[in-house]
Amino acid sequence: MPEFCDVALPVPLDIVFTYSVPDGLLPVVGGRVLVPFRQQRLSGVVTDLHDRKPKVATKNLIGVLDPAPVFDEQLIRLGQWIANYYLAPVGEVFRTMLPLGAEFKRAVGYRITDKGQMALHLAGMSGSSARSQKTPEDQFVEFRVLDYLAERGMTREESLRAAARAPKALLAGMVRKKWIAREDLSEARDAARMVKVAVLKSVEGRLNANQQTLIDTLAAAGGKVPVDVLQSLEIPRTTLSTLAKRGLVDILQEPAQFAVSGLKPRPRLFDFQFNPAQQAALQSVQERVNGRNFAGMLLHGITGSGKTAIYLAAMRAVLEAGRSAILLVPEIGLTPAVAADLHQLFGEEVAILHSGLSDKERAEQWHRIKRGDAGMVVGTRSAVFAPVSDLALMIVDEEQDPSYKQEEMPRYHARDVAVMRAKMANAVVVLGSATPSLESYFNAKKHKYTLLELPDRVEKRPLPAVEIIDMRQEFQETGSEQVISRRLAEEIEERLERKEQVMVLLNRRGYSPVVLCRACGKTLECNNCAIAMTHHKRSHRMECHYCGYTTPVPKVCGQCGSEYIYFLGTGSEKLEELLHGMFPQARIGRLDRDTVRGREDFERALNALDEGELDLLVGTQMIAKGHDIHGVTLVGVVGADMALGLPDFRAAERTFQLLTQVAGRAGRGQTPGKVVLQTYFPDHYAVQYAAQHDFAGFYDKELRFRSWMHYPPYSALANVLVRSNKLDEALRWSGVLGKWFEKTRHEGIRVLGPAAAPILRLKQDYRYHFVLKSASREKLNVLLRSILAYATEQKIPRTQVIVDVDAVWLM
């Protein structure tokens, strides 16, 4: 065994750490080990085993958590690529890639020191009864702790505190006095969830009716059944224990098996024939997959053109060839109904990874994939790291969705990681969307990706007609600010009479987004952020949508005490109320983050619409994504252009995508659909092209703008943000970095800033930023590396300088 072992640890430092390998331990590259780090124990991933003696003294490994690698060579390389590309510590990257946190149990213990022994000894000499009388209560407890530790040796914190009735602060005080020592006892724990099973041993002897039923059930199931399944039979619980006592049945603990759905894969995939465009697209994907070389493909299909069917068919072919595929979907797409469909299609070979899983469930799924039991993986962002072997196909649905970007360290973009992983695996990557990102469409136009187009909806259903309502004119004609224009009201009325369904989008939740004092002009801002608080009427709270901070609804102005408080603007909660007032007979539902807590809520609302239990569904962008509800013939858009006012170069692209997506919800059934689009920017090209369903037109215009302004896809971009909860510190640090940028040569890189971030204060931090753009990704990467090194030199903590490569938000 080599003498040393390099370990990537989840700490904000861009290096690996070298440890000595003691005799008897057998670490492996790509497996986890437990190591001492500062005062704690950490689990990290072994990146190298070697005999190169480091200059500094090394500590010993504490233990080996995985006898075999959890990362194969490809995933290690992928992790290193991410660390390098996004400038993230490789240990943090590995931790993100491996959802096995549940297998590592944090624990702390204490032992008595020599000094503590001495104190105990001295106290003992003065007589134990005297000790308890003379000493104040705290000291008495201290000796109880010493007594206990002297007798028991190393003891876990919980046991010690319970036995000696010692508060945490007291133990900390004793550590400071060096009477006791604190140690991290964290260790691996068995990840497998255990279940009780009953096993049939013998069927001898006389049985009563209940006992007979149990035995029969066991025999019919092959002799082994989980106990909770038996308990759901209509038999007294004691029956099983009686049988166990008589030795007819054994009750054992076993690792839980993944719930067997009992559903067999469907013999036929779909109950429709693919249209020629679908067939052509599927065929080219399959040809490339069979070619076993890397290929990038962009599937651009308008809303309702049948992209999902292609993904599933391509995955089934991969499954039949005995290889693996990963399908990434945005969070909101993974409803329980979708999961059920996937089980139908792939039976037990599918693993579904979504944010609703507990740590343990996630670990279980990970192990199923790693063992090779599930080769079809469907999941959100982090599923891109699923440990499949023989990856043949990677699919990214709604590839433009911002939820693929992780907004914390490591700030990776799952779509781009998917492309890189496919490259490393000689696999095919398919990016799908009705509204591809400019970056991906640009790559396709430059022939880096093969472009597959589905220009028509299935069964030649028409795209909905879009009518634009100019809300400035509406204001002039009606003399007041309208939320719902006269035209939209008429159209809704008409659908309700015809018993058709309506969706109304307002991309802002809550009741009123602004609370203003008319006397002094102050708006109510969050305590932690430079953001107006939103009024939520039903919960009687003011809420910050950025940090979650809430306060009671003010009755008087906090600034001047005036009672002239006004609630301005409209959110989805108020829109729902308004619509109730206008159409009292209509059944109205609402879909936003206040009404939807989990995947089930989301699905329940959509089902209600699908089953015709709702006439009208109001909601934020949640209602725009991918749902296929045939009864909706009208989509009203009352607020989707707010983003156009934001200082973000992707504002037009996002607005175009949102409008196209929501318009795509109309007319997916037999009756053609219509969209009424209210806007204050009727002439804006994002609005105009969305209304004409003209992706190519929008794309050309937007690309020209990006080219003039040197924005992606014409340059690589990074946002460097400096933050501190002290304003002067944030200012000073951004000044220090700003000077450095002025002094350093960085040819071919544009640096904008320092400037206050559009949201100056967020979650208690003041924020200043730089935007860096360059045609050369390498140069940009080098410059970012030097600025981080300089920041460290200047003692600016690594956690306060955020480098966001390919930033999705510049706010």
SS3 100: coil
**35 burial via Cβ count (<10 Å: 0-12, 13-18, 19+):** buried
Which is it for the CA torsion 677, 680, 682, 685, positive or negative? negative
Site string for ligand ADP, 227-266 (x = CB under 6 A): ----------------------------------------
Neighbouring C-alpha atoms within 13 Å toward the C-beta of 522: 15
Of the residues 44, 89, 109, 304, which one makes contact with ligand ADP according to CB under 6 A: 304
Kindly indicate which of the ranges 272-280, 415-423, 729-737, 751-759 contains the residues binding ligand ADP, using the contact rule CB under 6 A. Answer: 272-280
Residues 618-657 contacting Zn ion, CB under 5 A:
none
Tell me the H-state helices in 376-522. 414-425, 438-445, 471-478, 486-497
Kindly indicate which of the ranges 296-304, 323-331, 529-537, 553-561 contains the residues binding ligand ADP, using the contact rule CB under 6 A. Answer: 296-304
If the CB atoms of residues 137 and 271 are measured against ligand ADP, the closer one turns out to be 271
- Going from the C-alpha of 382 to that of each of 148, 299, 378, 411, 718, the distances in angstroms are 46, 22, 10, 12, 22
159 forms part of the interface with Zn ion (CB under 5 A)? no
| Residues that contact ligand ADP, how many (by CB under 6 A) | 15
Of the residues 305, 435, 485, 570, which one makes contact with ligand ADP according to CB under 6 A: 305
SS3 66: coil
Of the residues 166, 386, 544, 716, which one makes contact with Zn ion according to CB under 5 A: 544
Buried-state track 198-229, b at ≥16 Cβ within 10 A, e below 16: bebeeeeeebeebbebbbebbeeeeeebbeee
Kindly indicate which of the ranges 9-17, 118-126, 560-568, 750-758 contains the residues binding Zn ion, using the contact rule CB under 5 A. Answer: 560-568
Strand runs (DSSP E) across 91-238, as ranges?
A: 104-105, 108-112, 155-156, 180-184, 187-188, 194-200, 224-226
| Least distance to ligand ADP, CB of residue 320, Å | 20
If the CB atoms of residues 269 and 547 are measured against ligand ADP, the closer one turns out to be 269
- Beta carbons of 23 and 60 less than 8 angstroms apart: no
Residue 305 interacts with which of ligand ADP, Zn ion, none, CB < 5 to 8 Å by class? ligand ADP
DSSP 782-802: HHHHHHHHHHHHTT--GGGEE
Of the residues 91, 306, 464, 673, which one makes contact with ligand ADP according to CB under 6 A: 306
| Least distance to ligand ADP, CB of residue 337, Å | 12
278 forms part of the interface with ligand ADP (CB under 6 A)? yes
In the structure encoding, which two tokens stand for residue 496, read together? 């309700």
Site string for ligand ADP, 150-189 (x = CB under 6 A): ----------------------------------------
Q: Which residues pair with 43 in a beta bridge?
A: 34
Annotate 160-184 with three-state secondary structure: HHHHHCCCHHHHHHHHHCCCEEEEE
If the CB atoms of residues 18 and 278 are measured against ligand ADP, the closer one turns out to be 278
307 forms part of the interface with ligand ADP (CB under 6 A)? yes
274 forms part of the interface with ligand ADP (CB under 6 A)? yes
140 forms part of the interface with ligand ADP (CB under 6 A)? no
If the CB atoms of residues 76 and 517 are measured against Zn ion, the closer one turns out to be 517
| Least distance to Zn ion, CB of residue 520, Å | 3
Residue 547 interacts with which of Zn ion, ligand ADP, none, CB < 5 to 8 Å by class? Zn ion
Site string for ligand ADP, 446-475 (x = CB under 6 A): ------------xx----------------
Dist CA 162 CA 80 (whole Å):
45
| Least distance to ligand ADP, CB of residue 274, Å | 5
| Least distance to Zn ion, CB of residue 765, Å | 11
Strand runs (DSSP E) across 640-712, as ranges?
A: 674-679
Question: Measuring CA to CA, which residue among 36, 78, 783 is closest to residue 394?
Answer: 78
Dist CA 806 CA 442 (whole Å):
15
SS3 263: coil
Of the residues 530, 547, 553, 759, which one makes contact with Zn ion according to CB under 5 A: 547
Dist CA 408 CA 86 (whole Å):
11
**188 burial via Cβ count (<10 Å: 0-12, 13-18, 19+):** middle
Residue 458 interacts with which of Zn ion, ligand ADP, none, CB < 5 to 8 Å by class? ligand ADP
Residues 627-646 contacting ligand ADP, CB under 6 A:
628
| Least distance to Zn ion, CB of residue 475, Å | 27
Both ends of the chain: CA-CA distance in Å? 51
If the CB atoms of residues 397 and 641 are measured against ligand ADP, the closer one turns out to be 397
Chain contacts with ligand ADP (rule: CB under 6 A): 272, 274-275, 278, 301, 303-309, 458-459, 628
Chain contacts with Zn ion (rule: CB under 5 A): 517, 519-520, 522, 526, 528-529, 544, 546-547, 549, 557, 559-560, 562
